[in-house]
């Protein structure tokens, strides 16, 4: 084992106490009264009730601690420097196993302690997940879907999950289960990346999509649905997927002009989560008259309907880098009109809840795994401070 990994894994085996630190727990409106936290065996042991400082105590005066960040939508195996789907599918990049390990290390150093991978073709991200889990490699806790279920030549068909019938969709799901995926991903509409697929159109009818959701549930797996067009969003809300990715309300003209209040009400009522994949690339769209007003209006109307949002970036698509969640959060806040604390919940406790990880991570609470981010400054008023982590702990191990 390399020396730096050995050193950090040794640290995780000892009880560690952090003192004189300002704490946001991932849930509350404001900072806690407590100013100390102790970690043992990878978990948060106590918050505030820390007895006398021991050998493994770090004074964190002037610093602020919060839960590690969660990105609900990434693709470990996509290379953001490759601009076409064709280039990706040809594998015109360096050795993928090496590249994804480097991406994972960069992510966790940037404070991302959990990420959900929503699609790849060869299950390499699952092998990475297991190597991170065992402590062999640094990286975020990963939840992985493997190959998404898609229609023939449909969105991301090059990953191998094409299904022209329900039976074929069931076979695609079975193949993912055999590879021990954490969840199932379905492409409910076409997408931008795939030439020949139409983001506006539904790829499966309601009956088929409902049966796909039931099949995922039968295997005890949650299901995420990629949806741009309103027809696909409506199908996904009726079929009862767990998370709706993108949720762009695209109408016949291809833009987000087709918000449907009944569907938004159904999403809220059924407790489904929307993962809007607003990344730092959206910064350049700010102020564009043909984009920003309608997009912001869609988020306002979703939130008024009671729809809950989680932070996600779609990292891996062109020019969206895997370690850039923190940079995306102020932009997400802008478009969705969220306060810093609402944005932070969407990237910590709410995201953990949406991913079924609320008993594992997403908050600074005794018993949870010690996924912690330490920054200078005041993240509850200034999200930009998250881009400069001073320390990160992943499952109790100091990674930087």
Q: What is the three-state SS of 287-326?
A: CCCCCHHHHHHHHHHHHHCCCEECCCCCECECCCCCCCHH
User: Least distance in Å: CB of 314 to Zn ion?
Assistant: 4
Distance between first and last Cα of the chain: 17
The answer to whether 42 touches 26, Cβ cutoff 8 Å, is no
Q: What is the DSSP letter of 354?
A: H
- Which residue number places its CB atom closest to Zn ion? 314
User: Least distance in Å: CB of 303 to Zn ion?
Assistant: 23
User: Least distance in Å: CB of 375 to Zn ion?
Assistant: 28
Candidate ranges 102-110, 296-304, 309-317, 359-367; the one touching Zn ion (CB under 5 A): 309-317
**Residue 312's closest CA among 248, 227, 246?**
246
Q: Residues touching Zn ion: how many (CB under 5 A)?
A: 1
Q: Does 314 bind Zn ion (CB under 5 A)?
A: yes
User: Least distance in Å: CB of 118 to Zn ion?
Assistant: 5
User: Least distance in Å: CB of 400 to Zn ion?
Assistant: 27
Q: Which two tokens stand for residue 56?
A: 């493994």
Candidate ranges 85-93, 157-165, 308-316, 329-337; the one touching Zn ion (CB under 5 A): 308-316
User: Least distance in Å: CB of 3 to Zn ion?
Assistant: 36
Task: Cite the DSSP H helix spans in the chain.
Answer: 3-13, 85-89, 96-109, 124-133, 166-178, 206-218, 230-239, 261-269, 292-304, 325-336, 340-346, 349-354
71 or 258: whose CB is closer to Zn ion? 71
Q: Which two tokens stand for residue 248?
A: 């762009």
Candidate ranges 52-60, 84-92, 290-298, 311-319; the one touching Zn ion (CB under 5 A): 311-319
135 or 318: whose CB is closer to Zn ion? 318
Bridge partners, residue 27, by sequence:
none
331 or 385: whose CB is closer to Zn ion? 331
Distances (CA, A) of 6 to 39, 327, 351: 18, 30, 31
Measure CA 387 to chain center.
17
What character string, x for contact with Zn ion (CB under 5 A) and - otherwise, covers 267-306? Answer: ----------------------------------------
215 or 314: whose CB is closer to Zn ion? 314
User: Least distance in Å: CB of 75 to Zn ion?
Assistant: 6
314 or 371: whose CB is closer to Zn ion? 314
- Which H or E element spans position 134? none
Candidate ranges 122-130, 251-259, 314-322, 382-390; the one touching Zn ion (CB under 5 A): 314-322
| Residues of the shown chain interacting with Zn ion in the complex, contacts defined by CB under 5 A | 314
């Amino acid at each position: 084992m390399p020396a730096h990994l050995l050193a950090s894994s040794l640290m995780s085996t000892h009880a560690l106490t952090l003192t004189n630190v300002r704490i946001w727990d991932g849930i509350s409106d404001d900072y806690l009264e407590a100013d100390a936290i102790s970690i043992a065996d990878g978990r948060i042991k106590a918050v505030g009730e820390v007895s006398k400082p021991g050998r493994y105590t770090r004074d964190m005066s002037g610093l602020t601690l919060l839960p590690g960040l969660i990105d609900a939508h990434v693709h470990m195996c996509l290379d953001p420097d490759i601009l076409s789907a064709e280039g990706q599918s040809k594998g015109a990049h360096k050795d993928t196993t090496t590249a994804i390990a480097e991406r994972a290390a960069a992510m966790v150093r940037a404070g991302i302690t959990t990420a959900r991978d929503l699609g790849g073709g060869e299950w390499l991200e699952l092998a990475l997940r297991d190597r991170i889990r065992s402590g062999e490699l640094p990286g975020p806790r990963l939840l992985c879907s493997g190959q998404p279920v898609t229609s023939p030549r449909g969105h991301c068909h090059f990953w191998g999950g094409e299904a022209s019938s329900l039976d074929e969709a069931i076979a695609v799901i079975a193949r993912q289960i055999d590879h021990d995926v954490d969840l199932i991903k379905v492409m409910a509409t076409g997408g931008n990346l795939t030439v020949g697929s139409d983001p506006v159109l539904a790829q499966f009818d309601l009956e088929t999509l409902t049966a796909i959701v039931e099949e995922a549930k039968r295997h005890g797996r949650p299901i995420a649905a990629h949806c741009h067009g309103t027809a696909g969003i409506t199908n996904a809300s009726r079929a009862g997927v767990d998370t709706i990715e993108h949720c762009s309300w695209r109408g016949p003209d291809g833009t987000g002009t087709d918000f449907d209040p009944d569907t938004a009400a159904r999403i809220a009522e059924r407790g489904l989560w929307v993962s809007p994949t607003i990344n730092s690339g959206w910064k350049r769209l700010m102020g564009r008259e043909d984009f920003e007003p309608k997009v912001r209006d869609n988020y306002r109307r979703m939130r008024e309907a009671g729809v809950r949002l989680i932070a996600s970036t779609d990292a891996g698509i062109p020019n969206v880098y895997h370690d850039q969640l923190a940079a995306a959060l102020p932009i997400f806040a802008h478009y969705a009109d969220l306060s810093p604390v609402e944005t932070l919940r969407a990237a910590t406790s709410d995201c953990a809840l949406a991913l079924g990880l609320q008993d594992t991570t997403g908050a600074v609470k005794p018993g949870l795994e010690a996924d912690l981010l330490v920054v200078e400054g005041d993240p509850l008023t200034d999200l930009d401070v998250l881009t400069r982590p001073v320390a990160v702990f992943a499952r109790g191990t100091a990674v930087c």
